[in-house]
Amino acid sequence: AQTVTQSQPEMSVQEAETVTLSCTYDTSESNYYLFWYKQPPSRQMILVIRQEAYKQQNATENRFSVNFQKAAKSFSLKISDSQLGDTAMYFCAISNFGNEKLTFGTGTRLTIIP
Protein backbone atom coordinates (compact mmCIF):
# COMPACT_ATOMS: atom_id res chain seq x y z
CA ALA A 1 0.00 0.00 0.00
CA GLN A 2 1.16 3.54 -0.66
CA THR A 3 0.74 6.61 1.51
CA VAL A 4 1.18 10.32 0.91
CA THR A 5 1.85 12.87 3.64
CA GLN A 6 1.46 16.62 3.38
CA SER A 7 2.62 18.16 6.63
CA GLN A 8 1.50 21.74 5.96
CA PRO A 9 -2.28 22.06 6.35
CA GLU A 10 -2.21 25.76 5.49
CA MET A 11 0.21 28.26 4.02
CA SER A 12 0.01 31.85 2.92
CA VAL A 13 2.37 34.00 0.90
CA GLN A 14 2.43 37.48 -0.59
CA GLU A 15 1.64 37.84 -4.26
CA ALA A 16 4.74 37.56 -6.50
CA GLU A 17 6.69 35.61 -3.87
CA THR A 18 7.86 32.03 -4.15
CA VAL A 19 6.34 29.26 -2.05
CA THR A 20 7.21 25.59 -1.61
CA LEU A 21 4.69 22.93 -0.63
CA SER A 22 6.02 19.75 0.95
CA CYS A 23 5.04 16.17 0.19
CA THR A 24 6.51 12.87 1.28
CA TYR A 25 5.30 9.46 0.24
CA ASP A 26 5.85 5.82 0.87
CA THR A 27 5.63 2.98 -1.60
CA SER A 28 7.24 -0.40 -2.01
CA GLU A 29 7.19 -0.07 -5.79
CA SER A 30 10.15 1.08 -7.87
CA ASN A 31 8.00 2.36 -10.74
CA TYR A 32 5.42 4.99 -9.93
CA TYR A 33 4.16 8.42 -10.86
CA LEU A 34 3.73 11.50 -8.71
CA PHE A 35 1.27 14.32 -9.24
CA TRP A 36 0.28 17.67 -7.87
CA TYR A 37 -3.38 18.59 -8.30
CA LYS A 38 -4.92 21.96 -7.54
CA GLN A 39 -8.47 22.46 -6.28
CA PRO A 40 -9.56 26.12 -6.34
CA PRO A 41 -12.74 27.30 -4.60
CA SER A 42 -14.66 26.25 -7.71
CA ARG A 43 -14.03 22.65 -6.55
CA GLN A 44 -12.60 21.56 -9.93
CA MET A 45 -9.55 19.28 -9.68
CA ILE A 46 -6.81 20.45 -12.04
CA LEU A 47 -3.50 18.73 -12.75
CA VAL A 48 -0.58 21.04 -12.04
CA ILE A 49 2.40 18.83 -12.74
CA ARG A 50 3.44 15.17 -12.94
CA GLN A 51 6.72 13.30 -12.46
CA GLU A 52 7.76 9.82 -13.52
CA ALA A 53 9.82 8.18 -10.78
CA TYR A 54 12.31 6.73 -13.26
CA LYS A 55 13.20 10.21 -14.54
CA GLN A 56 15.83 12.00 -12.50
CA GLN A 57 15.12 15.36 -14.09
CA ASN A 58 12.67 17.47 -12.12
CA ALA A 59 9.47 18.35 -13.97
CA THR A 60 8.60 21.98 -14.67
CA GLU A 61 5.46 23.65 -16.01
CA ASN A 62 5.86 27.40 -16.41
CA ARG A 63 5.89 28.84 -12.84
CA PHE A 64 5.51 25.41 -11.26
CA SER A 65 8.42 23.07 -10.61
CA VAL A 66 9.09 20.10 -8.41
CA ASN A 67 12.00 18.95 -6.31
CA PHE A 68 11.91 15.17 -6.58
CA GLN A 69 14.20 13.34 -4.17
CA LYS A 70 13.62 9.65 -4.81
CA ALA A 71 15.84 8.31 -2.05
CA ALA A 72 14.18 10.56 0.50
CA LYS A 73 10.73 9.88 -1.01
CA SER A 74 10.09 13.58 -1.19
CA PHE A 75 8.19 15.49 -3.89
CA SER A 76 7.84 19.20 -3.14
CA LEU A 77 6.11 21.76 -5.36
CA LYS A 78 7.59 25.21 -5.90
CA ILE A 79 5.40 28.02 -7.18
CA SER A 80 7.33 31.02 -8.44
CA ASP A 81 5.94 34.53 -8.88
CA SER A 82 2.75 33.49 -7.11
CA GLN A 83 -0.52 34.92 -8.39
CA LEU A 84 -3.91 35.44 -6.78
CA GLY A 85 -5.29 32.67 -8.98
CA ASP A 86 -2.94 30.21 -7.30
CA THR A 87 -5.11 30.35 -4.17
CA ALA A 88 -6.39 26.79 -3.81
CA MET A 89 -6.03 23.45 -2.05
CA TYR A 90 -3.04 21.56 -3.40
CA PHE A 91 -2.98 17.78 -3.31
CA CYS A 92 0.03 15.55 -3.78
CA ALA A 93 -0.78 12.10 -5.19
CA ILE A 94 0.92 8.87 -6.22
CA SER A 95 0.02 6.21 -8.74
CA ASN A 96 1.90 2.91 -8.69
CA PHE A 97 2.86 0.99 -11.79
CA GLY A 98 0.21 -1.65 -12.40
CA ASN A 99 -2.39 0.19 -10.34
CA GLU A 100 -3.94 3.24 -11.88
CA LYS A 101 -5.68 4.65 -8.83
CA LEU A 102 -4.47 7.89 -7.31
CA THR A 103 -3.64 7.94 -3.60
CA PHE A 104 -3.86 11.48 -2.31
CA GLY A 105 -2.35 13.38 0.60
CA THR A 106 -4.51 15.44 2.93
CA GLY A 107 -3.85 18.64 1.03
CA THR A 108 -2.34 22.07 1.73
CA ARG A 109 -4.55 25.13 1.63
CA LEU A 110 -2.55 27.89 -0.03
CA THR A 111 -3.64 31.51 0.16
CA ILE A 112 -1.98 34.20 -1.95
CA ILE A 113 -2.22 37.58 -0.24
CA PRO A 114 -2.57 40.68 -2.45
Partner 1 sequence: DTAVSQTPKYLVTQMGNDKSIKCEQNLGHDTMYWYKQDSKKFLKIMFSYNNKELIINETVPNRFSPKSPDKAHLNLHINSLELGDSAVYFCASSRRGQGYEQYFGPGTRLTVT
Per CB under 8 A, residues contacting partner 1 are 31, 33, 35, 39, 42-47, 50, 52, 89, 91, 95-104, 106-107
| Shortest Cβ 89–partner 1 spacing (Å) | 6
| Shortest Cβ 102–partner 1 spacing (Å) | 6
82 vs 96 by CB, closer to partner 1: 96
3-class DSSP state for residue 84?
Answer: helix
* Measured distance CA(92)–CA(22) in Å, rounded: 9
Best CA proximity match to 72, nearest among 3, 25, 28: 25
Q: Tell me, what DSSP letter sits at residue 85?
A: G
| Shortest Cβ 16–partner 1 spacing (Å) | 27
52 vs 80 by CB, closer to partner 1: 52
37 vs 86 by CB, closer to partner 1: 37
63 vs 109 by CB, closer to partner 1: 109
Burial class (CB in 10 A: 0-12, 13-18, 19+), 113: exposed
Residues in the chain: 114
